[in-house]
Chains A and B, each alone.
Chain A
Amino acid sequence: MNENILEVVNLRKIYNHRNDSVVALDDVSFKVKRGEIFGLLGPNGAGKTTTIGVLTTKTIPSGGKAFLGGIEVAKNPLEIKKRIAIVPQNYNLDRGLSVRDNLIFHAKYFGVSKEEREQRADYLLEEMDLYGRRNDQVLNFSDGMKRRLMIARALMHDPEIIFLDEATIGLDPEARLLIWRKIKELNNKGVTVFLTTHYMEEADRLCDHVAIMDKGKILVLDSPDQLKSMLPDGNIIELRLENINDEFLSSLEGIKGIKKIETGIDVIKLFTDGKDNIVQEVFGLVFKFKLPVLAIQHYSPTLEDLFIYLTGKGLHSGD
């Protein structure tokens, strides 16, 4: 069996509207290994949903090819649909049906036998802590419950790969942790997971490989640890200040050991070589300029920092 379940080659997607066109995917190529959790990390508008759309037969690419299990997606959508499952970003449960019937009918569409679908539905409802609500209407569900039900539904036909688009967006921390645990568990059972997120922590904690995406391009792709090591050795000092002025900034640039400075409205990120004296020198400057300090942090880099390092902007800018 092929080691790569997904192969994406030079994918392009241009959305044409009346008088403007948006390049949503700009020559995207990557591979996903069978059995792994693969994450597409990027801010809103990066092209994550479009990528999932192409891989799941919904979006027709303007160029390039995508292969799933060796089959070209655009050429054989029916065969692709049998092997994949989709948990989209928006809630799309069938409100005409009860909670349990959402699962049962989904399995019927996929030709799962009666005995098997009944058994699987009860098992998955139990797994997702929804068994007690099985006869309810979907309408009254909380977002976390809807998301869990959508994951249960996706698993009803025993897919090879499951696509989760922003599976934890808008959920409270507890609901998010529960979804993370479920994703880990189903991956442990051998299902390949393809997820998108704009939470770096999610990508960091769940994924075997992460592709960082911005403006339709993949900037880097590697394991979270490898990605973090791409940052220049050292630490990050984050200053939250009022009244950042140019003079202060140019003085910062004078400090030896600061490799890169990124500034936001009231925040400065300093990528340092990790030597202790830098923190003191930065403090010295803050006092010298008598700047009101809101917060100072000194920490080892995260994927979010890598994103800022690569693009000069935060993952959540433009939210």
Chain B
Amino acid sequence: MNTQTFFAIMQRDFKVLLKEFDEFVIRVAVQPTLFVLVFGLVLPKIGEIPQGYINLIAPGILGMSMLTAGVFSTAIPLAWDFGATREIEDRLFAPISVRAVLLEKIVMGMIQAWLAGGIVFPIIYLFTRQNLNIQVQSYFFLLLILFLTGIISALFGMVLGTTFEPIKFSLMFSFIVIPMIFLGAAYYSWDSLKAIPWLKWVTLVNPLLYVNEGFRAILTPQISHIRLEYSLIGLIVSSIVFTIMAIKGFERRVYN
């Protein structure tokens, strides 16, 4: 691969990201902050939910923030590039393979997912540290889950961005991303779904489930969670499936 071109393209993406970094922070931070305020401070104070509820949802808030940031970082630019502006052509016509351009997009998406995690975690900690009880089980597996979460988000965003036209985005968001977030075991643990068995099995197709349950296993093991090995398998299978779909989608839009 032509590494010089690869890094030049990355530099371009960093430049664009940094130019609108304040917007990025706002997009990433506002929703989780409100969540933490309501579920970590307001409701427990009123006495509607127990003080420790934050421990149930903290991994989920982290997971879904990272997922949305990663998905958006690839989905939105790609949908516009292929559906309207064709801005990416200048990079596709650069002396580098089309797959390398794809890889660069994924790397940038991962970085943005990690940045989102780096922004959201301190927010959770800041507002709820009295009640928050986090015990990192293994830094190796934490890093592994962070890595897989980043790659899955970016790949999934690429699948969406190469499938949907920009004007269909709010529809796609309502039909795909919102259900993923709500049925991704962010606000409850998967195990507690025993009450509704069919939902328990249906939601196994949701990759965000494995992200959230994986974080739960590593960060708040006191809460019931899917065994880490199973979450890892779910994450790895999702990465493989999304890799295939993303390459197909991307190449279909590049060539004609």
Point out residues on A near B: beta carbons under 8 Å.
Answer: 15, 53, 56-60, 77-78, 81-82, 86, 88, 90, 92-97, 101-102, 105-106, 108-111, 153
Contacts and interface: CB of A to CB of B under 8 A. Distances in A.
B9 interface: yes
Given A92-B86, A96-B87, A153-B90, A109 B255 contact: no
A294 B201 CA distance: 77
Contact of A95 (B4, B85, B91, B256): B85
A105 B256 contact: no
Contact of B87 (A53, A94, A153): A94
B5 A111 contact: yes
26 contacts: A58-B93, A58-B254, A58-B255, A59-B255, A60-B255, A60-B256, A77-B97, A81-B93, A81-B96, A92-B85, A92-B87, A92-B89, A94-B87, A95-B85, A96-B16, A97-B15, A105-B11, A106-B90, A108-B8, A108-B11, A108-B12, A109-B9, A109-B96, A110-B5, A110-B94, A111-B5
A96 B19 contact: yes
B155 to A, nearest CB: 22
A110 B9 CA distance: 10
Interface in B135-172: none
A111 B86 CA distance: 22
A102 B89 CA distance: 12
Contacts of B4: 111
Contacts of B92: 58
A81 B95 contact: yes
Nearest to B254: A58
A209 to B, nearest CB: 25
Contact of B86 (A15, A59, A60, A90): A90
Main DSSP-derived SS at the B contact region: helix
B97 A109 contact: no
Contact of A78 (B16, B19, B86, B95): B95
Nearest to B92: A58
Contacts, number: 77
Contact of B8 (A92, A94, A96, A109): A109
Nearest to B81: A92
A78 B85 contact: no
A94 B95 contact: no
B256 A59 contact: yes
Interface size class of B (residues with CB under 8 A): 20 to 34
A56 B85 contact: no
Given A81-B93, A109-B9, 17 more contacts: A15-B256, A57-B93, A58-B92, A59-B255, A59-B256, A78-B97, A81-B95, A92-B87, A92-B89, A96-B15, A97-B16, A105-B11, A105-B90, A106-B94, A108-B12, A109-B5, A110-B94
B89 A53 contact: no
Nearest to B87: A94
B254 to A, nearest CB: 7
Given A60-B255, A94-B12, A97-B16, A109 B90 contact: yes
Interface in B56-99: 85-87, 89-97
Contact of A53 (B90, B95, B256): B256
**Lowest 9 CB-CB distances: which A-B pairs, in order?**
A109-B94, A108-B8, A96-B16, A92-B86, A82-B95, A81-B95, A92-B89, A105-B12, A111-B4
A88 B88 CA distance: 13
A94 B90 contact: yes
A56 B93 CA distance: 8
A81 B97 CA distance: 10
Contacts of B90: 92-94, 102, 105-106, 109, 153
A109 B95 contact: yes
A58 B86 CA distance: 13
Contacts of A82: 95
A102 B90 CA distance: 9
A111 B4 CA distance: 7
Interface string B8-27: 11011001100100000000
Interface string B155-192: 00000000000000000000000000000000000000
A108 B97 CA distance: 16
